[in-house]
Amino acid sequence: MGFWTAWQFLTIFPGPSIKDEKGRGLGSSLPWFPIIGLILGGILLGLDQLFDLFLPPFLNSALILVTLVILTGALHLDGFMDTCDGFTVKTSAADRLKVMADSRVGGFGVAGACCLVLLKFAAIISLPVDLRAVGLLLMPVLARWSVAYAILAFPSARKGGLGDFFKENTGWIMLPIVTIITVGIAVGLLSWIGLVLMAGIWIVTFLIAKGLSTLLGGLTGDTYGAIIELLEVAILIAIVIIGEAGGSSWLDLS
């Protein structure tokens, strides 16, 4: 049940119909977040290898980015835009939440999305050739581990909201489980550098989640999407830096 709940929550793909009136699926879905990320990364890597056979790198990277947006149903990007719109409000947390709940997207949200997509595209095309496969695999894995941490570590901004529902049906025991799974993937792909990368990403996640929680009185479904989007960019940039510093991986498909 947990896998299919995570699958439907994090991707556009349908799953089997599950009756989950008590929310047990949500409670057991968090450990599956990095696994879903790995599946998404595997799809991106497979398409990247295919497109590389007959397309130039520039167009290949653009298609990879568009594919990621499609695979997630643009849900995280929509949350990021709503979060950006919320920051145009300078009055109170309640007013920010009200703006974020509006289905209409404002100019600040559009501008934020353009900047985010530009950065992500630039980071994808800048991935070192010998770390490109690792980057495409680890980006969705670590980003979804990060949001699992944020869900557990920070309060929900709305009573009865998505964060509240998660917290009512899960517990801190899920954090070491999801972290152990993620450590296995990161170390398996990048050795000890994977641990350093995870530590850095955790710091970035904490700072972003703390800032959002302070301004909004907690986190919401929109901010979860924003965290995933921002962390994907941060992870890609970090892997570019690792490559520039001479880091490498056994998974070199160049």
pLDDT digits (tens, 9 = 90+) for 32-60: 999 999 999 999 999 999 999 999 999 99
Q: Quick one: pLDDT at residue 196? A: 95
Look at residue 253 and tell me if it is in a domain: no
d(CA 206, CA 32): 21
Residue at 74 is within a domain: yes
| Confidence tier at 158 by pLDDT (50, 70, 90) | confident
Task: Answer whether residue 182 is part of any domain.
Answer: yes
Domain assignment of residue 116, yes or no: yes
- pLDDT over threshold 70, residue 160: no
* Non-local CB neighbours of 25 within 8 Å, separated by 6+ positions: 1, 2, 4, 5, 18
Full residue range of the structural domain in which residue 120 is found: 2-244
Residue 21 has pLDDT above 60, yes or no: no
Residue 184: the pLDDT is: 96
Worst-scoring range by mean pLDDT, 18-22, 157-161, 191-195? 18-22
DSSP secondary structure letters along 50-78: HHTTTS-HHHHHHHHHHHHHHHTTTHHHH
Checking if the pLDDT of 136 tops 80, the result is: yes
Structural domain count, the chain: 1
Q: Is the pLDDT of residue 71 over 90?
A: yes
DSSP string computed for 92-151? -HHHHHHHHH-SS--HHHHHHHHHHHHHHHHHHHHS-GGGHHHHHHHHHHHHHHHHHHHH
- pLDDT category, 252, cuts 50, 70, 90? confident
Any domain includes 89: yes
Give the pLDDT confidence score for residue 123 in this predicted structure: 97
Is 251 inside any structural domain? Answer: no
Write out pLDDT tens, residues 161-193. Answer: 666 677 776 777 888 999 999 999 999 999 999
Instruction: List, for residues 229-249, the tens digit of each pLDDT value.
Output: 999 999 999 999 999 998 888
| pLDDT tier for residue 209 given thresholds of 50, 70 and 90 | very high
Cβ contact 145:179 at 8 Å: yes
- The secondary element (H helix, E strand) that includes residue 91 is none
Residue 219: DSSP 8-state: B
Whether the pLDDT of residue 95 is over 90: the answer is no
Residue 235 to residue 83: CA distance in whole angstroms: 20
Q: Model-level pTM?
A: 0.92
Residue 146 covered by a domain? yes
Structure tokens at 103: 């289905």
